[in-house]
Amino acid sequence: MFQNKICLSSDNWSPAHPLVLKAVLEANEGYAAPYGADFWTEQATSLIQEVFRNPCKVFMIPAGTGANVFSLKLSCRPYQSVICTDIGHINFQESGAAEAIVGCKLLTVPHQEGKITTESVEKKLQAERAFGKHTTSPRVLSITQPTEIGTVYSLAELSSLSKLCKAEGLLFHIDGSRLYNAAIHLNVDLHEIVRAASPDILSLGGTKNGLMGAESVVIFNSHLYEGTDHLHKQTLQLLSKMRYLSAQYIPFFRDELWRTLARGANQKAQQIGAIIETIPELSLSYGVKTNQIFFTAPAAWIPLIQEKILCYVWDKEKNEIRFIASWNTSDQDIANLRSVLVEIRESVNTRQYNTVF
């Protein structure tokens, strides 16, 4: 087992926060209408609408890939396409679900530190549109905020992309499975991100920020409402006992638990980044902004790190490792991490010394 290792694999290795489980327990009271017509879903929906300060239709969703696929399915007809980065979760971590279930093409552009730029979108649009009916009709721009490598679009960048979408007749979708960590980094409220980005649809997370398992899709563009109740069911996202999913969101938004947990995770990531910066052999790939830390290490360090720390090698060729801090990463974890890295350094250097002589 991995009990003795420090777990920096991913925030979905973490347990749920006790207040979340408490809310689930409280929802276990008597009968409730199924399929989302219950009191808890109504409450969670209202809370989300209040948080974003915008009229919107909210759907509860069991997992993140489902949130993205449902978002794209309600936005796209099959001759249309979705622009995203090559490392976009919808393109690279969802097992071809968009193509298989939405039937649309994903038009990928190379990312710039995880982000998509207005220039690259414009260039892709031009290339795809040059061939008329022989190519697809671009319909959605989908970005991930924060990105898959922990970088964060500024409000200005979001505004620019949004403006581009309006000008080009694209719908704007944000995959916000860790949106909370971006808000903390930007030091803004969630509705300020939405005000800047003016997205048509948002995949809103929860599971990675201390819930048991709850995501949602928030539709801001009312022209997209039609058919969504059917699609929620048809894309396999509708739970019968929805109350147990929705209840998780209640303390999360009512008591601003999302903020406490995301802030905690971001702070721990800052501490981890600071430790890495003290070790000359390690090099942060990007500034640490959210709860994700990417850094490169000498090849010889990789197995030693993985022996003590649960984490992913993100890029084998570059010897790049990903750490993710979570709401429950402890001070002890941080202290242990420091010791482990220092020990590895010493052992490697001693070995090298011994090798030389």
Does 316 engage in binding with a second copy (CB under 8 A)? yes
User: Between residues 103 and 298, which has the closer beta carbon with respect to a second copy?
Assistant: 103
Q: Which amino acid is at 195?
A: R
Which position among 49, 54, 63, 319 is part of the footprint of a second copy (CB under 8 A)?
63
Q: Compute the least distance from the CB of residue 346 to a second copy, in Å.
A: 27
Q: How far apart are CA 149 and CA 162, in angstroms?
A: 21
Does 208 engage in binding with a second copy (CB under 8 A)? yes
User: Between residues 13 and 286, which has the closer beta carbon with respect to a second copy?
Assistant: 13
User: Between residues 151 and 326, which has the closer beta carbon with respect to a second copy?
Assistant: 326
User: Between residues 10 and 49, which has the closer beta carbon with respect to a second copy?
Assistant: 10
Rg, C-alpha atoms of the chain: 21
What is the distance, to the nearest Å, from the Cα of residue 79 to the centroid of all Cα atoms in its chain? 27
Site for a second copy in 76-105 (CB under 8 A): 77-81, 92-97, 99-101, 103-105
Does 244 engage in binding with a second copy (CB under 8 A)? yes
**What DSSP character marks residue 169?**
T
> Which one of 51-59, 165-173, 223-231, 249-257 is the stretch in contact with a second copy (CB under 8 A)?
223-231
Beta strand segments in 253-299, E: 283-284, 292-296
Q: Compute the least distance from the CB of residue 291 to a second copy, in Å.
A: 15
Does 10 engage in binding with a second copy (CB under 8 A)? yes
> Which one of 134-142, 159-167, 188-196, 251-259 is the stretch in contact with a second copy (CB under 8 A)?
134-142
Angle at 115 between CA 253 and CA 146, to 5 degrees: 20
Does 207 engage in binding with a second copy (CB under 8 A)? yes
Q: In the block, which residue shows the tokens 């393109």?
A: 91
> Which one of 49-57, 126-134, 191-199, 260-268 is the stretch in contact with a second copy (CB under 8 A)?
126-134
Which position among 30, 280, 299, 356 is part of the footprint of a second copy (CB under 8 A)?
30
For residues 162 and 200, the answer to whether their CB atoms sit within 8 Å is: no
Angle between the N-to-C axes of helices 243-254 and 257-277, in degrees from 0 to 180, rounded to the nearest 10:
70
User: Between residues 3 and 187, which has the closer beta carbon with respect to a second copy?
Assistant: 3
Cα–Cα distances in angstroms (integers) from residue 225 to residues 35, 58, 75, 99, 353, in the given order: 18, 10, 10, 22, 66
Does 19 engage in binding with a second copy (CB under 8 A)? no
Check the CA dihedral 256-90-70-145 and report its sign: positive
User: Between residues 81 and 290, which has the closer beta carbon with respect to a second copy?
Assistant: 81
For residues 62 and 213, the answer to whether their CB atoms sit within 8 Å is: yes
For residues 59 and 70, the answer to whether their CB atoms sit within 8 Å is: yes
